[in-house]
Amino acid sequence: MNATPTADTQGAEEAEGRTGGCLCGRIRFTTRGPAVFAHTCACEHCQKLGGTPLMWWVGFETVTWTGESEPTWYETFEGEAKRGFCPTCGSRVAAIDSNIPEIGINVTALDDTSGTDLVPIHASFHENAVRWLHAVPETEHNAAG
Q: Are 13 and 115 in contact (CB under 8 A)?
A: yes
What does the pLDDT profile of the chain (145 residues) look like in tens digits? 544 444 343 443 444 689 999 999 999 999 999 999 999 999 898 899 888 999 999 999 999 999 999 999 999 888 899 999 999 999 999 999 999 999 999 999 999 999 999 999 998 898 888 888 887 776 655 444 4
Can you tell me the distance from the alpha carbon of 36 to that of 18, in angstroms, rounded to the nearest whole number? 13
SS (H, E, C) 24-35: CCCEEEEEECCC
Name the nearest CA neighbour of 34 among 58, 1, 3, 2: 58
Residue 1 pLDDT: 53
Q: 76 with 67: CB under 8 angstroms?
A: no
Question: How far apart (Å, rounded) are the C-alpha atoms in residues 24 and 16?
Answer: 24
